[in-house]
Structure 1
Amino acid sequence: MIDYRAARLRMVEYQIARRGIRDLAVLEALSAVPREEFVPEALRDYAYDDTALPIAHGQTISQPYIVALMAEAAGLTGASKVLEIGAGSGYAAAVMAEIAGHVVTIERLATLAAQATARLQRLGYANVEVISGDGTAGCAGQAPFDAILSAAGTRKVPPAWKEQLAVGGRLVLPLGPLGDQTLMKIVRTSDSDYTQRPLVDVRFVPLIEGPG
């Protein structure tokens, strides 16, 4: 029987902290969230491996290091309002909810959205709201957001995401064609100006418009 808590703490030390993640809030969040609860039962013993894992409907739960890197790049604080595109299993939303004040996560696949909602509620994440719908449109009703993170890759940034970002807000997303994506950090510096910088080469599932 695997001691999941011990495995989780080893993961944070060896896969996260030793690879350069320094944000203490991010490290504590990864230490707190039980990743084994977010993967299929048959894969629980692999929950703390340094890899992405498959979940239902051809989707994946991201590698823990990538979740940590994106959360650190997003610069989350207890006052942050966050929008996530692609809830998947709900794992990244749970990590962000350990830090941020409120997390809105959109999932186009209704079945995954319902499962993520039930899982997050069961685990006590009252500050996460799961919405079933088209993530490319963002969530105008709750904008502006201090951070927007996408769990799906796209060749170009959907205009709604940039529009719904607060001035000073951070957008973190995989940008580029499938197989040649770069994780980018985009910062809104004024009403009409943005800066961007590359973080690391990545491989994410593609962003798909419309309901699931």
Structure 2
Amino acid sequence: MMPHLQGIGMTSQRTRDRLITRLSEQGITNQKVLDVISKTPRHIFVDEALDSRAYEDTALPIGYNQTISQPYIVAKMTELLLEFGYLQKVLEIGTGCGYQAAILSQLVGHVYTVERILPLQRKAINNLRELKLKNISYLHSDGGSGWPDYAPFDGIIVTAAPPIIPQTLLQHLVIGGVMVIPVGNDISQKLYRVVRKVDGFSIETLENVSFVPFLSGKE
């Protein structure tokens, strides 16, 4: 691994290991998820000025009024998505800086990730190519439309909060497919896990969260 990917000081493996300990203490039990987070250099996904905070369990700004989610939320959403077994095709709505896609791509067959802000998508592609992660496809589009060309998906993960669960994304799930999504407004949001059944959808309410709003259109 290149030296800047390995990190030093506050970006070193020792610092990452402390983060993994905190995640375990907060209830993350999927060892594969913890291992991938441990080896993935989160500091390359944030501005250099924020390097020293990359392994804090906190959200950080990435520009364009967007954030990189706190590691606990990334771990929790990934764990919830994978709880029922291996997923081959996963749709991510909201590529952001690419960190969540980086984690997912090491745990599933293929990630299809959609981002509405073109400069952010370009940064994410550069970050993910630096890590030589090749099982990721990118689309610059309004996330509310999903990615019809590749639907249906075994799993969907949404990294921005709509006021209600988008019907289009529900229809993008295979029978037995799982979606993890925050829903709400700037005052109150909840994390949900949705499983598509033959006769409808099972919706599980999980915990309070705080995400950027799910916006329409492209930039």
Q: Aligning the two structures, in what range does the TM-score lie when normalised by the shorter sequence?
A: over 0.9
Which string of whole-angstrom CA distances, capped at 9 and with x for unpartnered residues, describes residues 58-78 of structure 1? 100000000000001101755
Which string of whole-angstrom CA distances, capped at 9 and with x for unpartnered residues, describes residues 164-184 of structure 1? 111111111111122200000
Is residue 83 from structure 1 mapped to residue 94 from structure 2 by the alignment? no
Runs of 5+ unmatched residues, structure 2: 1-8
Could you tell me which of 96, 99, 102 is aligned with 1:94? Answer: 102
1:55 match: secondary structure? strand
Is the contact made by 1:116 and 1:130 (CA closer than 8 Å) also made in structure 2?
A: no
Is the contact made by 1:79 and 1:101 (CA closer than 8 Å) also made in structure 2?
A: yes
Is the contact made by 2:10 and 2:51 (CA closer than 8 Å) also made in structure 1?
A: no
Partners of 2:87 and 2:72 lie apart in 1 by 24
Equivalent AA in structure 2 for residue 156 of structure 1: I
Count of aligned pairs: 210
Is residue 137 from structure 1 mapped to residue 130 from structure 2 by the alignment? no
**What are the within-5 Å matches in structure 2 for residues 1-212 of structure 1?**
1-14=9-22, 16-75=23-82, 78-190=86-198, 192-212=199-219
Runs of 5+ unmatched residues, structure 1: none
In the TM superposition, structure 1's runs of 4+ consecutive aligned residues that sit over 4 Å from their partners are 76-79
Please, what is the CA RMSD of the aligned residues?
Answer: 1.2
Give the TM-score, by structure 2 length.
Answer: 0.92
Give the TM-score, by structure 1 length.
Answer: 0.95
* Percentage identity across paired residues of the two chains: 39
Is the contact made by 1:102 and 1:128 (CA closer than 8 Å) also made in structure 2?
A: yes
Partners of 1:29 and 1:146 lie apart in 2 by 20
